Structure 1
């Protein structure tokens, strides 16, 4: 591929961020003035807002200059400098030696000339998403927003527009919730492979992009940690995201005091704005209860008392755009959503736009398919809460992170449950993960011999059908005949089961006696 290298004469001079003391003093002033201080005890008073618990489904985006080479995955800027890797060899063969064409040289070719944020958001709404969380900066150090702390940003190099700001404005105009995700924490070592041979990582002229490029055995310097904090604060103040997500890297112990300061600052700013906000974190970087836990590409084993999130992607290959993606199918994405929601979680589903600003057709089609299913069956998802058990059936998804490499092979016997209580109505939804071939959905948890149900069933309906549902109940199961409209298509059918109202004391005694 014949790409022209970066013209250094087009760049602004490096930004001087050597003295962070005035900016840090302003951060501490906000912390001191607000209800939250930078201690885990104070931060643990946080509670996930109800709107986030109800929303259930959102879209994230991995976009950036790594989508120009579109090879391997979004870690191209790291692996291209690691000798002996396929990406290193591909880079040399395609673009030439690293001292002549490095990662910086991809940035001008990330132009997003076909970018239409309003069209993107319209697609996200059709997909049924309630919130949108783009990556503000990945590990590569290239800011997808207008930062005052770096010249390596989309407003200066590449699109020459604030692509994240434009997207979040479109999100807000569409009455969706706007968020932002920062992955900068691992930048301190990310390009360190280029320091081991003759590459542009060694060139002092570009140290503000590639640096500090330390060995991973070391720890981040105080200057890097201060810069990480202030870049995060800048995102908070400039864009006011109601969801702030952190990727891996901040679990490194040296980040701990800076994490507490960022969280206190964000929560206090949210109080000033009069908005309820959410922080999502991975691994053990936050104290329990101080933010919302995020599993990457995985699930929980059962119902969680606290709300949580699964961040996954439409592809197994890469979070960002690459050629030859290994895409999940629509049924698998719907199964992931249903499984997560049944366990008191939210699903954040990622797509990877191309460098020209278009969303790949395969990814748009997957979002449309999820949206079509939610348009019919969303009653069982949005605003729901867990039932007594999350589900039934012979197949269990592997719990933990990074478990989606091989999809669980569900059967028509695998069902998940959610619950919705309205004035005078108590609904439980049996959500099939696979549509039964014989057209009959059998739910063992609602058989007359089940210990999980202590009240009469007063109505059974199949979502999406206007016909009166045909159903029978035996000791073994509740059997529901599905209409023809619910026998085909991605995802499974949903049966709404209405239970007779229960007295408050009966409910307390019943749940107390169950080992959940």
Structure 2
């Protein structure tokens, strides 16, 4: 189905779901928590340890896919913005689809058919990209569950694709030996469609209140009924799909969620212990106490090595997390630099793509993913399983610190270098990744000069990943200077592997690392 082409509006909507016994389910959750090992307190949750699989994985794929890809206008916030008078989306909707009372967001759902979706092909692409885990959006702010929930009639098994998107994709992920995660943006649904309550629109129609949600003002804290429903939907996701990553967007910072976040973490960590699998909760800002889950920066970066494992969630596109025909894409060198920078600072990169409504992935996005995979085939030993060095970076190009810093293209030079360390079988190697290839063919690494104080041991060898021949190199007070070959092993930058001279038995590892 082409962009802006939608199904007729005389849709037969899904039947309402029977009421649930929330108290019985909450009692069951309490029993799991009481059985331990984690209690629903920040003190108990501080015993959580980030699993090694996540610490080593370094790279995952995020997926924003939903009914907002039918209009494919603006971005994934189209469901909200189309009801905000004065917005480009509001005008576009009126001009393209008509009056909001006659054709609202719900009327896009039957046209979200995913008729060309092949989950196994998706996962093959993600695996080719070098991703180690996959995180589909289980429910975005719009309120359409992408899974077989028993708590809402508005899900992809009852309308649109008539498929369990999370379940089918999860099976493909596990068939190909990757790790499944899910993201929940349900908290924001409390207010997300509130623009439609300010004028005559279908958001005001009580027949669809269970889809459009409370549509309350942002200033109002969510009430108990809403928070409990949010909590039990999340429990359902955990129990039904056993994800090893659980990602939350920002609005769980509201104080009303705080006791439920503690309870959720205790439940998740306890049931995961029964699965025998390490799991990760990812949060923004200060929703969780430090050390109880993994901090996530949206479109972000750290200025230096962060003491705890963290994550940057970002996208291949600058303008939208979901597919739109006029997407502005980042370049391959940018994305690889972002991956290397995050990893050097003790982070993990969760990189988003946005499939089209029919289930296909745009050629540009496929190309960026395979480009990253090609680079990792040559240079992956500097990334996977690595740990930070005593310093993360050197070079002239500044790196902002915080969230939402990737709106403009960032260009790095060959003097911009990131460092990682590998330890295997008692041996240690340092990797220096140049974010661009030097125009004169000479790599200069100041952190490895004898006067830098960062490396006391001598250097036994210097190698270029992807190149079989020897390299000419010298080490001065100021820098390690390496002459690179004419042939470039990969299309972006260069990775040098530096091996120290053997240390005396019992001596500390020559490169060390902070963590």
Which range, TM-score by smaller chain?
A: over 0.9
Give 1:251 deviation, angstroms. 0.5
The match for 1:193 is: 195
Q: Is the 8 A contact 1:116 1:357 kept in 2?
A: yes
* Matching residue of 1:403: 405
Post-superposition offset of 1:25: 1.3
- What are the superposed Cα offsets for residues 266-304 of structure 1, whole Å, 9 maximum, x if unpaired? 001101111111111111000111001000001011101
CA distance in 1: counterparts of 2:268 and 2:353, whole angstroms:
27
Q: Tell me what 1:498 maps to.
A: 499
TM value normalised by structure 1 = 0.96
| Native 8 Å contact 1:168 1:178 kept in 2 | yes
Q: Which moved more, 1:328-337 or 1:463-472?
A: 463-472
What secondary structure, in the 3-state scheme, does the structure 1 residue paired with 2:447 have?
A: helix
Give yes or no for contact 2:392–2:419 (8 Å, CA) kept in 1.
yes
After the TM superposition, list the runs of 4 or more consecutive aligned residues in structure 1 that deviate by more than 6 angstroms: 508-512
1:434 shift after superposition: 1.1
Partner SS state of residue 217, structure 2? coil
Give the whole-Å Cα distance in 2 for the aligned partners of 1:439 and 1:429. Answer: 18
Q: Contact 1:384/1:418 (CA < 8 Å) preserved in 2?
A: yes
The separation in 1 between residues aligned to 2:130 and 2:170, in whole angstroms, is: 17
Task: Give the structure 2 partner of residue 204 of structure 1.
Answer: 206
Closer, same or farther: CA 294–24 of 1 in aligned 2, 3 Å? same
Q: Deviations over 1:348-389 (max 9, x none)?
A: 000000000001110000001000000000010000000110
Give, in angstroms, the shift of residue 424 of structure 1.
4.5
User: What's the CA shift for 1:121?
Assistant: 0.5
1:323-363 superposed Cα distances (whole Å, 9 cap, x missing partner): 20010010000000000000000000000000000011100
Structure 1, unmatched stretches of 5+, are none
Q: Give 2:223's match in structure 1, choosing from 221, 224, 233.
A: 221
1:12-411 correspondence to structure 2 within 5 Å: 12-17=14-19, 19-411=21-413
Distance 1:487 1:146 in 2: 46
Cα distance in 2 for partners of 1:178, 1:211 equals 28
| Equivalent residue number for residue 465 of structure 1 | 467
TM-aligned CA deviation for residue 6 of structure 1: 3.9
Task: Indicate the SS of the match to 2:137.
Answer: strand
Report the CA distance between 1:511 and its aligned residue: 7.2
Cα distance in structure 2, aligned partners of 1:483 and 1:151: 61
C-alpha displacement at 1:503, in angstroms? Answer: 5.3
TM (normalized to structure 2)? 0.96
Contact kept? 1:435, 1:488, Cα under 8 Å: no
Q: Aligned equivalents of 1:463 and 1:392: distance in 2?
A: 20
Residue in structure 2 matched with residue 475 of structure 1 by the alignment:
477
Alpha-carbon distance between aligned partners in 1 of 2:394 and 2:494, rounded to the nearest angstrom: 15
Q: What does the per-residue CA deviation read over 1:384-442, in whole Å, with 9 as the maximum and x for residues that have no partner?
A: 00011001111121110000012333111100000012235220000011111111111
On the 8 A contact 1:439/1:487 being kept in 2, the answer is no
The SS at the match of 2:250 is coil
Gaps of 5+ in 2: none
Matches of 2:384 and 2:309, distance apart in 1: 14
2:63 and 2:31 map into 1 onto residues whose CA distance is 33
Match of 1:431 in 2: 433
CA contact (8 A) 1:6 1:104 kept: no
8 Å contact from structure 2 (residues 503, 509) kept in 1 = no
1:427-465 alpha-carbon deviations (Å, 9 max, x no partner): 000001111111111111111222111000001100000
Contact 2:389–2:511 (8 Å) recurs in 1: no
Query: Which stretch has the larger CA shift, 31-40 or 88-97?
Result: 31-40
Give, in whole Å, the separation in 2 of the partners of 1:97 and 1:79: 15
Q: Distance in 2 between matches of 1:201 and 1:399?
A: 40
CA RMSD of aligned residues (A): 1.7
The answer to whether the 8 A contact 2:112-2:160 is kept is yes
